[in-house]
Structure 1
Amino acid sequence: MASEDRKVMCVTGASGFIGSWIVYFLLRRGYAVRATVKDIQDEKETKHLESMEGADESRLRLFQIDLLDYDSIVAAVAGASGVIHVASPCTIDFSRDPERELLNPAREGTVNVLKAAKENGIRRVVITSSISAMTPRVSGLPEAVGDENCWSDEDYCRSKELWYPLSKTIAEKAAWKFAKEEGLDIVVVNPGIVLGPMIPPSVNASMLVTLFVIQGKIPDVPVDHFMGFVHVKDVALAHILLYENPSAAGRYLCVEAATHYNDFAAKMAELYPEYKMPRVSDDCLPKVSNMKEASKKLIDLGMKFASLDHIVQDCVQSLRTKGCLS
């Protein structure tokens, strides 16, 4: 149960894959939630939130925001004791104008949320970043992700048009710069490939990419993005753990283990031989050894991660429930 001084939480991107689970667990823990959505008139964004246990006890309020509209963010943050910032553009499509459609909203939207938090005396902001802010051609470690000290190479991302990793990298760097200059307490979660049961009615980007792979298609994203998998419930719980733990600081890699795309394909073949998962050449995979406790910082705080078997099984079951797989 949340203590009285931290019972009101603002969650941006609340209607999404990760955000919905964060709202679900916050409500179960006794929090009141100020949840932001892009279109409050769209039942695909709101209905699944409003049907959660606790939502009908006046503990859930929905706010429509635009990440580039500061005033809309202030309205959602006002009255909260903490913020979990999940909202960020996410697409598997190549962007025609990545600066306008992806990079600027990610960077400026994050700064706007932090400004609103600072203005309203928020004690801590937990930010959802990504392992992709650590992986593509890491500076000083050319073909591997090491730990929370690693950053993706921005020039390499631009040269290869890796717009999503670039958006997460520049948004997170902007957040750390703001926090340092303004004295705001932030903590960052860097999840791997997030899979598991979907609360929203629509299939999100990571589950859609996984669906393509299960259907036998090589993913149209670099396979070094598949550097560890994590259950969506664990990601949600990690955000809450980091908000509630006063000793939490810095970045937190959030994966079940440091594994490669081919490890996922092998596990899928073992559990579901009816699906013909494509493999890729080992030469295409990042040169890093598998590590069971890659997320040691979170584990040291008491985090326990679902196994890869559990992640794969819940992923397939959810895709079947949504009618995407037979």
Structure 2
Amino acid sequence: MAGELQEPLSWIGQVDSLHSGSISLGRFESEDLSWERRSSFSQNSDRIQETLIDPCIKGTQNVLNSCLKASSVKRVVFTSSSSTVRYRDDSPQIFSLNESHWSDIEYCKRHNLWYAYAKTVAEKEAWRISKENGIDLVSFIPSFVVGPLLAPEPSSTLLLIQSIVKGSRGEYPNTAVGFTHVDDVVAGNILAMENSKATGRLVCSGPVAHWSQIIKMLRAKYPSYPYENKCSSQEGDSIPHSMDTTKIARLGLPPFKTLEQMFDDCIRSLQEKGFL
């Protein structure tokens, strides 16, 4: 493969005790690459600092500091989020958001967008540590991940889709966001890890849509479900925008799967596993 770091490559798919500061270095010593996993999408509004912000930031610090002690780690792939890019007052005026754009921390605070706040602060901290210590860091930036169920239980993102389809949530999010098939996310992660030309931040996002559009699409194809009809009154999360994925496409990522493909795979998987 052109631009390949090394073959074969060893992966770290999960790091235990992210928040304790006592990560076992034995997990790293024989590895060429490390990837720092994504934080949970869900959040407890009553304990936001304790349950979301601190774990996200401290977990990032602990993983990178452990990588510093493991001399064999050649690259760290940090799984970030499009939430670190799209929350800006000027997003509607920007033709297409790319790797150079960052979410505005004050905007996130103003609209109580604490997941975006935590992810943005954590990624900036990752870049600070990597630049100060010469770590080869690649930040992988997916949007809302959709696709078939890969674990025994639905993830927080699939639980959100399930609750919207079943009409059990009370309302659907007033959110416009990019959606990306899990297959595209996996392929993008592999490029970020294996391709030596992968540098900096890599946006990996399929089509952008509002949840009202998603519900309309699903209702037409799967009409037997009740679906949510009421839109949330949350402000600040429905900014019209688009995501520029030119950089990751140039590394060799194939065209993104469509909204129809990713949600078909998701709904059928939830049906087959008895969750719908």
Q: Does the pair score TM above 0.5?
A: yes
Which TM-score applies when normalising by structure 2? 0.85
Q: Aligned with 1:198: secondary structure?
A: coil
Are residue 192 (structure 1) and residue 143 (structure 2) matched? yes
In 1, the alpha carbon distance for the partners of 2:146 and 2:154 equals 11
Residues 189 and 167 of structure 1, relative CA distance in 2, 3 Å threshold = same
Partner residue, 2:240: 288
In 2, the alpha carbon distance for the partners of 1:245 and 1:209 equals 33
Residues 139 and 179 of structure 1, relative CA distance in 2, 3 Å threshold = farther
Are residue 274 (structure 1) and residue 276 (structure 2) matched? no
For 1:155-234, list aligned pairs within 5 A: 155-216=106-167, 222-224=173-175, 226-234=176-184
Say whether the 8 Å CA contact 2:33–2:76 is kept in structure 1: yes
Partner residue, 1:237: 187
Q: Aligned with 1:314: secondary structure?
A: helix
Q: Aligned with 1:248: secondary structure?
A: coil
For 1:49-198, list aligned pairs within 5 A: 65-88=16-39, 90-121=40-71, 122-136=73-87, 138=88, 140-141=90-91, 146-198=97-149
Amino acid at match of 1:10: I
In 2, the alpha carbon distance for the partners of 1:318 and 1:232 equals 13
Partner residue, 1:11: 13
In 1, the alpha carbon distance for the partners of 2:29 and 2:167 equals 47
Q: Aligned with 1:306: secondary structure?
A: coil
Residues 275 and 77 of structure 1, relative CA distance in 2, 3 Å threshold = same
In 2, the alpha carbon distance for the partners of 1:228 and 1:221 equals 16
Residues 125 and 219 of structure 1, relative CA distance in 2, 3 Å threshold = farther
In 2, the alpha carbon distance for the partners of 1:290 and 1:264 equals 16
Q: Aligned with 1:72: secondary structure?
A: coil
Alignment size in residue pairs: 269
Residues 106 and 300 of structure 1, relative CA distance in 2, 3 Å threshold = same
Say whether the 8 Å CA contact 1:189–1:254 is kept in structure 2: yes
Q: Aligned with 2:208: secondary structure?
A: coil
Report the Cα offset of residue 75 of structure 1.
2.9
Say whether the 8 Å CA contact 2:108–2:114 is kept in structure 1: yes
Residues 242 and 269 of structure 1, relative CA distance in 2, 3 Å threshold = same
Partner residue, 1:31: none
Amino acid at match of 2:10: V
Q: Note the alpha carbon deviations across 1:213-236, whole angstroms, 9 max, x for none.
A: 112366768533x41111112111
Partner residue, 1:45: none
Partner residue, 1:318: 269
Which TM-score applies when normalising by structure 1? 0.73
Amino acid at match of 1:307: T
% of aligned pairs identical? 30
Partner residue, 1:23: none
Q: Note the alpha carbon deviations across 1:5-28, whole angstroms, 9 max, x for none.
A: 55222122xxxxxxxxxxxxxxxx
Report the Cα offset of residue 275 of structure 1.
3.2
Q: Which residues of structure 1 form unaligned runs of 5+?
A: 13-35, 37-64
In 1, the alpha carbon distance for the partners of 2:209 and 2:165 equals 18
Say whether the 8 Å CA contact 1:133–1:169 is kept in structure 2: yes
The alignment's C-alpha RMSD in Å is 2.9
Report the Cα offset of residue 176 of structure 1.
0.8
In 2, the alpha carbon distance for the partners of 1:173 and 1:243 equals 20
Residues 190 and 140 of structure 1, relative CA distance in 2, 3 Å threshold = same
Residues 139 and 111 of structure 1, relative CA distance in 2, 3 Å threshold = farther
Residues 128 and 73 of structure 1, relative CA distance in 2, 3 Å threshold = farther
